[in-house]
Chain A
């Protein structure tokens, strides 16, 4: 945390290398979050770029108050997602673009992942907005509960409750649609 505070401080003072490091550390997570929230690859790419350009423009206004830099970035991304839905008057999750699946040398695994992604995005349509936000930040964004709570302006207890209810709802939806959950355990070969 101390290192990040130092890095952010340097970026605020115009240190390009420091800001570049922050960019590299957070780019993929922001992209995943936006993709899972909106389900549109082209839009997600543009929005991810815009998140970092906005961050660059307003870094001087960032005040270190113990909140991780990621929380500030995800807040910018969250606001852009909200604007996107407002402007386009779309449902939060649209049909998924199959080309999003990362290239993989194992065709069987690719097929399983592709199916899972479609199932996930379809299932998240039935979640509440708050549950969807928790799933996007926690799993796609890879944030800890404390960080999710700060971004959403809720207590950690409230976010844990949302996480619990969202996972239950996702499981029910997936099972009701006779989907098989393909979860690869973390066992090392």
Chain B
């Protein structure tokens, strides 16, 4: 046992030498000549594993992810700039919901997150989701959240079909359509804003804006640093950098949302249609209604995002 532990420690030390300090296997084995035969095959394997797992995200994804993250960062920054009394109102509403949930159901909020429409805790889950929406400041952020919730509702419809509960399918499908209608309203040209900057419509988004968005992100960093040292000297430049970044971010987020909506518009009805083969006959009509309504709602939502 002791020998094994010693060997495990030596193996780890060799891995540190290989992976962190950049030594070769041969250099490493020189430190432990008596164990060389045992260590060598393991180090070869470890090195191969290390090389195989050195995957890099592709640049398109890296840029898209960066924009989205900077967008979220910017939203957190904007939150602080809201008038204090608005925040008090917002937080008062959220705290009322949270307190009501805590008083009424103790620690059930967490348990409710995985509940289904036919379960006791489902209403708690819906209220919690509403609180999330209330806490999401931007119209586009709300639309993104509604999109994730739409995906959840489709999961729930599928589960309810399996349980032969057509009335729950109808109720959940109504929620799904409500969310899709909200997405259409929130992403219409008038609905989406970043602070005081109106998001560009798809026609206004140029290739140049997309390719220079990364530079704009860097400009934001520089602008943020500049604010600290000489806020009074360069406010105009900082605002320009932020505005440029905001436009790029919004454009990218809309494109991402549109891509997700396009995928869901195809996958969700297809998934519900597939259920028609296996679900109990009593759920068939509810499923057909859900498919028909959601297809129409998806179409409108995608159109509002500049769909083809």
Contacts and interface: CB of A to CB of B under 8 A. Distances in A.
A118 to B, nearest CB: 9
Contacts of A56: 69, 72-73, 76
Interface stretch (A1-9, A30-38, A65-73): A30-38
A151 B180 CA distance: 39
B107 interface: no
A152 interface: no
B55 A101 contact: yes
Contact of B49 (A14, A17, A120): A120
A49 interface: yes
B65 A160 contact: no
Contacts of A138: 15
Nearest to B53: A140
Given A56-B72, A181-B44, A160 B11 contact: yes
A49 B65 contact: yes
Contacts of B41: 171
Interface string B38-69: 00011011111111111111000110011011
B73 A164 contact: no
Contact of B22 (A14, A119, A186): A186
A171 B49 CA distance: 10
B42 A187 contact: no
A183 B42 contact: no
Contacts of B18: 186
B11 A164 contact: yes
A167 B66 CA distance: 35
A28 interface: yes
Interface stretch (B2-10, B85-93, B182-190, B287-295): B2-10
A174 B19 CA distance: 21
B69 A23 contact: yes
Contacts, number: 133
B70 interface: yes
A181 B11 CA distance: 18
Contacts of B77: 14, 16
Contacts of B52: 113, 116-117, 119-120
Given A170-B45, A183-B47, A185-B25, A48 B53 contact: no
A108 to B, nearest CB: 14
B239 interface: no
A184 B50 CA distance: 10
A17 B149 CA distance: 31
Interface string A140-172: 101011000000000001001101100110110
B45 A181 contact: yes
A49 B68 contact: yes
Interface in A50-97: 52-53, 56
A81 to B, nearest CB: 15
A36 to B, nearest CB: 5
B12 interface: yes
B167 interface: no
Contact of A27 (B53, B65, B76): B65
Given A49-B65, A56-B72, A120-B52, A174 B224 contact: no
10 contacts: A14-B80, A16-B221, A17-B225, A27-B57, A28-B57, A32-B55, A45-B57, A139-B19, A144-B20, A174-B45
Interface of B: 4-5, 7-9, 11-12, 15-16, 18-20, 22-26, 41-42, 44-57, 61-62, 65-66, 68-70, 72-74, 76-77, 80, 220-221, 224-225
